[in-house]
Structure 1
Amino acid sequence: MNALRSLTPNAITPLPADGRYEYSAHRWSLPEIDALTLALAARRPLLVRGEPGIGKTQIARAVAVHLGWRLHSETIHPRFDPEHLIARFDAVRRLADAQAQKLGEDSDYWSPGPLWRAYDWAGAERFKSVSAPIAQPVAEPDGHVILIDEIDKADSDLPNSLLELLGQRSLAFAPLKLQLGGPDARLPLVIITTNEERELPAAFIRRCVVLNLAAPEDYRGWLIERGRTHYPGGDRAMHETVLALAADDLIDDRSTMKQADLPPPGAAEYLDLLSALHDLAARDTAAQLKLIEKLSLYAYFKHSVRPSPRRQSRDPIASDPS
Structure 2
Amino acid sequence: MNKPAMNQKAVNKQAMTKNLKKSAIMKQGVQYSALIAAMSFAVVGLHSTVVFAVENDVVAVENNMVTAENVTNTATEPMLNTSPVSVENAVTSSAADITAEKERTPSPSLPPIDESTYIANPKDKDVAALQAHLLPFYADKDAVQYYHAKKAATWLSYAAHEGSERAPKKTMRKTALAEAERIISALEQGQADQLSLTTTVPKGSEVMRRDLWSNAEWLKYQTGFSCAQSQVAQAEVMLVWAAAEQCELGWRHSREKFLAAQRLLDKANDQALSCQSQQGQATFRQDMPKINYPSFDALNGGQNICQGVKGAWPIWAPAAASE
What TM-score does the superposition give when structure 1 sets the normalisation length? 0.26
Q: Considering only CA atoms, is the larger Rg found in Structure 1 or Structure 2? A: 2
Q: Which has the higher helix share?
A: 2
What TM-score does the superposition give when structure 2 sets the normalisation length? 0.25
Q: Which has the higher strand share?
A: 1
